[in-house]
Structure formats: C-alpha cells, structure tokens
Amino acid sequence: MPKKRHTAEQIIGKLREAEVLLSQGRTTPEVCKQIGISEQTYYRWRKEYGGLRLDQAKRLKELERENVRLKKLVADQALDMSILKEVASGNF
C-alpha cells in the first residue's frame, strides 16, 4: 500500500476533526481509525502542527524549503572555498 502524502491544509483539517471527536468522548484509537491515520501519525502531526493556523503552517513549510535551499548553498560554497585553498597552497 503506497504512502499517502497529506498537505498542511489536510493535516490541520484532520487534527481539528480529531479534536472535535475527542471532545465528544471518543478514544484516540477510534478517532484515528475514523480519520484514516495511525496513532503514531496522529501524535507526530499533533506535535508538529498542533495549535497552528493554516497560514502559519504554510509559512512553516515555506521556511523549511528555504532553509534546505540555503543549507545547500552554504555546502557548495564551503566546497568551493576548500578547493580554492588547496589550489592556492600548491598541493597539486
């Protein structure tokens, strides 16, 4: 069974639905089964997205993508610098 990727909007919607069901007295395993996720996924989502609004979740994902891009740039720059130092020192 292939993994299903959920968007931030879908995750927040499912967490809100789970909160409503839990407030009605249902247990966590029942709620997870009803919304179609595992308990582990529910707790991981709640840890990452709990209390976030939709616009905040979108901004979080944008920042994560930008952070990955910047880390790649720094790694490339560090590699270039080390190559230049090696060439400048004359160790061919």
* Domain span at 36: 1-52
Q: What is the pLDDT of residue 2?
A: 63
- Report, as an integer, the average pLDDT of 4-29: 90
Here the CATH number for the domain that contains residue 40 is 1.10.10
Cα(37)–Cα(39) distance, rounded to whole angstroms?
A: 7
Q: Is the pLDDT of residue 91 over 60?
A: no
User: Other C-beta atoms within 10 Å of 17: how many?
Assistant: 13
Q: CA nearest 6: which of 43, 34, 40, 45?
A: 45
Looking at the structure, do residues 3 and 45 belong to the same domain, yes or no? yes
Render pLDDT for 33-67 as a digit per residue (tens, 0 to 9).
999 999 999 999 999 888 878 888 888 889 999 99
Residue with tokens 């308990």: 39
User: SS3 of 2, please?
Assistant: coil
Count of domains forming the chain: 2
- Name the range with the highest mean pLDDT among 6-15, 25-34, 53-62, 83-92: 25-34
For the chain, percent helix, then strand, then coil, each to nearest 5?
75, 0, 25
Looking at the fold, whether 4 and 26 belong to one and the same domain comes out as yes
Residue 62 parent element (H or E): helix 54-89
Shared domain check, 20 and 2? yes
